[in-house]
């Protein structure tokens, strides 16, 4: 017999992981007919909003390791979802953009995600915009807390990411 879980006793950080796991399950479902992984979606969505940016500009807001971003970009380029062009201002950097194929698939994914979020929030006493604003504030305060309480080389190396 399964015992009901008392979510009131679970720390917020674990609740975020549970929410993420549910989102991962849904993402796997909507991506089942593509060759895109869930980890690639955040990069593609960021490019939809900020097209023609360099790799560093792409990895920083997503708090992703630069090496992981490089590997992901290579896979996305191989699949025809993104293109890279040499930055005319700094020839050592590449500007990354969505291809038409990439733009089309990201828009489809974005619509599915929005439909899911609206379906979830529909029975809650908060709007999607209010929840979004609250989560952004949580991220800002979390980052600020870490900056104030972690004093080591690892944090210094990561805080720019």
pLDDT of 150 higher than 80:
yes
Query: How high does pLDDT run on average in the chain?
Result: 86
Per-domain boundaries in the chain: 7-123, 126-161
Of 8-22, 60-74, 88-102, 136-150, the one with minimum mean pLDDT is: 60-74
Give me the mean pLDDT over the 6-18 stretch. 89
- The pTM of the full predicted model, rounded to 2 decimals, is 0.73
pLDDT of 157 higher than 60:
no
Q: Select the CATH number that applies to the domain covering 7-123 from these four: 1.10.10.10, 1.20.140.10, 3.40.50.720, 3.90.1150.10.
A: 1.10.10.10
| Residue pLDDT, tens place only, 109-121 | 999 989 999 999 9
Give me the mean pLDDT over the 72-82 stretch. 94
Report pLDDT for 161: 45
| Residue pLDDT, tens place only, 13-40 | 999 999 989 988 998 899 998 889 887 9
CA distance 21 to 15: 10
One-character DSSP codes across 2-35: PPPP-GGGS-HHHHHHHHHHHHHHHHHHHTTTSS
């Amino acid at each position: 017999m399964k015992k009901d879980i008392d979510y009131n006793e679970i720390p917020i950080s674990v609740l975020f992981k549970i929410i993420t796991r549910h989102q991962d399950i849904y993402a796997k479902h909507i991506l089942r007919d593509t060759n895109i992984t869930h980890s690639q979606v955040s990069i593609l969505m960021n490019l939809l909003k900020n097209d023609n940016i360099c790799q560093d500009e792409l990895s920083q807001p997503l708090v992703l390791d630069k090496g992981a971003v490089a590997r992901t970009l290579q896979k996305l380029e191989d699949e025809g979802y993104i293109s890279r062009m040499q930055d005319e201002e700094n020839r050592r950097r590449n500007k990354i953009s969505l291809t038409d194929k990439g733009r089309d698939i990201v828009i489809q994914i974005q619509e599915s995600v929005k439909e899911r979020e609206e379906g979830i929030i529909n029975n809650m006493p908060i709007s999607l915009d209010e929840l979004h604003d609250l989560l952004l504030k949580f991220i800002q305060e979390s980052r600020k807390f870490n900056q104030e309480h972690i004093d080591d080389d690892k944090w210094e190396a990561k805080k720019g990411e």
